[in-house]
Chains A and B, each alone.
Chain A
Amino acid sequence: DTAVSQTPKYLVTQMGNDKSIKCEQNLGHDTMYWYKQDSKKFLKIMFSYNNKELIINETVPNRFSPKSPDKAHLNLHINSLELGDSAVYFCASSHPTSGGADTQYFGPGTRLTVL
């Protein structure tokens, strides 16, 4: 299956814990992203990497640290989890499209619940 995959699909954890979400794409794309979708379904970019290099770093608390071991993977590590971190996190990847902006392909999302 060629796609963007994320693990885990669901993550329930206590406040203060450290957790990671993994993302892998086998589409051969150079650029990968993390988005956060809050309880009101608002979808916002957090980070993007191009060929393992950080391109976009939105105003996200530094408890969030993306790591890209290679261009097919972009993991998200979150330290000292807080209640407000509860959300659905989407990974995406893209490739350049001739004549326009990149089309982004999304993973299935990871629903993080912080208790």
Chain B
Amino acid sequence: AQRVTQPEKLLSVFKGAPVELKCNYSYSGSPELFWYVQYSRQRLQLLLRHISRESIKGFTADLNKGETSFHLKKPFAQEEDSAMYYCALYNFGNEKLTFGTGTRLTIIP
């Protein structure tokens, strides 16, 4: 069965400091991974997906199959990055998107 683990429930980082939100997964097939973000009073929205290999709002995430990780990184945190971040894995077999438990990121001014 697929599983997504986000070990940090809360993460506080000073503005301008680097950010790393951890995500590990377990999945027997070839995974497709996503990061979704929920800003205060807004709906959950896609931030980025690993197959796109793009940087969104300064965030990047690299799929590391050896470590089964998909950590989200940003070199310099901004106040507007404060939000709830969810890592998610898509299982092509059962067509389910499984979410991690989320990490609440707070950027300290």
Name A residues whose Cβ lies closer than 8 Å to a Cβ of B: 4, 40-45, 48, 55-56, 90, 92, 99-109
Contacts and interface: CB of A to CB of B under 8 A. Distances in A.
A83 B40 CA distance: 26
Dominant secondary structure of chain B at its interface with chain A: strand
Q: How large is the interface on B (under 10, 10 to 19, 20 to 34, 35 or more residues)?
A: 20 to 34
Contacts, number: 50
Dominant secondary structure of chain A at its interface with chain B: strand
Contacts of A104: 46, 97
Given A100-B51, A103-B46, A109-B43, A43 B86 contact: yes
A106 B32 CA distance: 19
A55 B96 CA distance: 10
Interface in B68-92: 84, 86, 90, 92
A41 B95 contact: no
Given A56-B95, A99-B51, A41 B84 contact: yes
A39 to B, nearest CB: 12
A41 to B, nearest CB: 5
